[in-house]
Amino acid sequence: MSVTIPATEPRSALAPGPVFSRLIRSEWAKLRTVRATVCCLLATAAVAVGISVIMATAIDKEGPQPIGQLVINSHIGYGVGQLAVVVLAVTTIGSEYSTGTIRTSLTAVPWRRPWLVAKALVTAALVLVTGVLLSIVCFAVEYASAPAVAGSVTDPSVVRAVLGGGLYLSALAVLALAVGAILRSTVGGIVVMFTLIFVVPTLGSVPALSRLAHFLPGSLTPGSAGWTIMQPGPMLGGLGPWAGFGVLCAWAAVAMAGALYLLDKRDA
């Protein structure tokens, strides 16, 4: 008597996928109930707004202030505040691996790719809203401190630069989450992101290491390129606002593609 063993079906064919909106709700419930989420967002707000207040009160302003400069000043705090966003995004996925809850998550939701996409979308949406609100508040602080302003707040480049704070932090959060998923480590993800945002551009500007700029120009690193969306005009590297933001999005897309591939191939 012979026994026929059915061929093993791919994971995606075992059962129909979940309703994506349920994944979104599930990941939102997890994200908003984690203490680290509140702490990181409060840290971002404290640094961004705090530095804006310092800039507004410490700099002597005489005569009409160019509105473009006020926009630039309002985003100085993002240079430090973005680290809290990186920590939030990396922790969102890294904590699942460090605590072992990744097994529970993937048992409850065996459709791995939609699960990771839902986690990235929820994180990005939360950071986007937070970033836009903070950017508006920081700009309002700078604007209110100026004795007079040369320029209009309705100028398209000003509106884009002010709202760009949310876009920048949101795309950066997706990149950080993807890096954390690839490395399956919170500490590793934070170190890699810190290196990409701060160390690599700095090394490229050191004369003795200037050859590094031929392989990875500072203007094409995710932090430097994405920062252009928050500037009224082109950065020193020559990238326009949307071109620079596109570079950051490309980094995030490539990292997320790698994270999705590895998530499906590796054991939890």
pLDDT confidence of 132, banded at 50, 70, 90?
Answer: very high
Lowest mean pLDDT among 198-202, 218-222, 225-229: 218-222
Cα separations in angstroms, 5 against 10, 13, 111:
15, 17, 24
Q: In this prediction, what percent of the chain has a pLDDT beyond 90?
A: 56
pTM of the entire predicted model: 0.87
- Which tops the pLDDT comparison, 208 or 79? 79
Cα separations in angstroms, 216 against 83, 209, 210, 222, 225:
22, 12, 10, 11, 12
pLDDT confidence of 264, banded at 50, 70, 90?
Answer: confident
Residue 65, H or E segment? strand 64-66
CB count within 10 Å of CB 145 equals 17
15: left (phi over 0), alpha (psi -120 to 50) or beta: beta
Write down the pLDDT at residue 265.
85
Q: What is the rounded distance in angstroms from the CA atom of residue 178 to the CA atom of residue 146? A: 40
